[in-house]
Structure 1
Amino acid sequence: MTNIALRSREQVPILDSIQESEQQLRALIEKGLPLTPRPWKILAEQCGMNEAQVMATIEHWQSEGLIKRLGLVIKHRPLGIKANAMVVWNVPDDQVVVLGRRLAAEPAVTLCYRRPRQLPDWPYNLFCMIHGTQRSRVLAELDAIVTRQSLEAIPHQVLFSTHAYRQHGARYISE
């Protein structure tokens, strides 16, 4: 499924003037692109446009900032990837950007971002995800990253997920 991040109605006043076929297209892409070699063609058929019109409309929406990005939402548990660890780090603020870039460049790290600390209970400001099929492999990969990046002195915790929540992209059109 493709994750389409769109701006809200308040940010984009042109929404009220979008033609009905474009409104249908917008609703369709929020649900995700069809898994086919020609997704734009399938969407075109569903909203009464041709493939070129769909591609031009989406390109226009991107240039206007209505669509911020196209991305994937991967439902990894059905693929056997069930050992999902959020590693939280307490990094000195003057080092968090550099360390975040280093961690994000690690092949095993699938997501890396900064968040504000929630003191006094939560001192962590850098978060990264490592996915795997077994906890032991994820922990071994984390140990290898710590060694490669010389992070032994940086306090961190490993939090394994226990539940898969519903995953989807942003929604801006009510059903």
Structure 2
Amino acid sequence: MSITDTDRQIIEALQGGLPLVPAPFAQVAKGLGMNEATLIDRIAALKASGVIRRIAAAPNHYKLGMVANGMTVWDVDDARISAFGARIGALPFVTHCYERPRALPDWPYNLFAMVHGATRDEVFEKRAQIAAILGDTCRSSDILYSTRILKKTGLRLKERT
């Protein structure tokens, strides 16, 4: 699917984040030479077509005091992973949850759930709640703790040459 020059300008204007002002879409629209309603309509069309998925806040969890961040990894029965993934992903302390293929024999895990906490003990307690939900369907698990943020941005369009 191709996008128009105006769509590209909108994406480029939004990809770095919205301005922290009372009417951010109005400010972006003004910078693009259009009115706010037109901008919002174009964004809605881009979302409906699947060109963009969402506009959302991406907080820095380290600055919010959530410094013990662990990707919990689980070896779950393949026949039940979709149902369990939906349940785990709906937990209020899980920021993202997804299925990945195993890399046997070294990596048996197929369910991943990111958990944030102020301490490793807090993350471990949340991991225990996930383990209780998975029960006997989970054969093994681990926690991979973050040591730093590697990337905190979405996709960026390249500048045209």
* SS class of match (1:58): helix
Task: Tell me, in whole angstroms, the C-alpha distance in 2 between the residues paired with 1:153 and 1:55.
Answer: 45
**Cα displacement (A) at 1:56:** 1.8
Alignment of 1:79-158 (within 5 A): 79-147=64-132, 149=133, 151=135, 154=138, 155-158=140-143
1:93-131: CA deviation from partner (whole Å, max 9, x where unpaired): 101111111211222222110001111211100000110
Task: Tell me, in whole angstroms, the C-alpha distance in 1 between the residues paired with 2:78 and 2:136.
Answer: 17
In the alignment, structure 1 residue 37 sits paired with structure 2 residue 22:
yes
* SS class of match (1:119): coil
1:64-96: CA deviation from partner (whole Å, max 9, x where unpaired): 332233233221111111100101000111011
Aligned-partner residue type, residue 5 of structure 2: I
Could you say which structure has the greater relative contact order, defined with CA pairs below 8 angstroms and 6 or more residues apart?
Answer: 1
Unaligned 5+ residue runs, structure 1? 1-11
Give structure 1 regions of 4+ aligned residues with deviation exceeding 4 angstroms. Answer: none
TM-score (norm 2): 0.88
**Residue in 2 aligned with 1:6?**
none
Aligned-partner residue type, residue 115 of structure 2: I
CA contact (8 A) 1:111 1:128 kept: yes
Unaligned 5+ residue runs, structure 2? none
TM-score (norm 1): 0.81
**Residue in 2 aligned with 1:47?**
32
| Alpha carbons of structure 1 residues 150 and 100: separation in structure 2 relative to 1, 3 Å | closer
Task: Tell me, in whole angstroms, the C-alpha distance in 2 between the residues paired with 1:137 and 1:129.
Answer: 13
CA contact (8 A) 1:30 1:171 kept: yes
% of aligned pairs identical? 36
Aligned-partner residue type, residue 71 of structure 1: A
Task: Tell me, in whole angstroms, the C-alpha distance in 1 between the residues paired with 2:114 and 2:59.
Answer: 14
Query: What is the aligned-residue RMSD (CA, Å)?
Result: 1.9
| Alpha carbons of structure 1 residues 152 and 161: separation in structure 2 relative to 1, 3 Å | farther
Aligned-partner residue type, residue 73 of structure 1: A
**Residue in 2 aligned with 1:5?**
none
* SS class of match (1:67): coil
1:22-62: CA deviation from partner (whole Å, max 9, x where unpaired): 44322111111223332210101221111122112212222
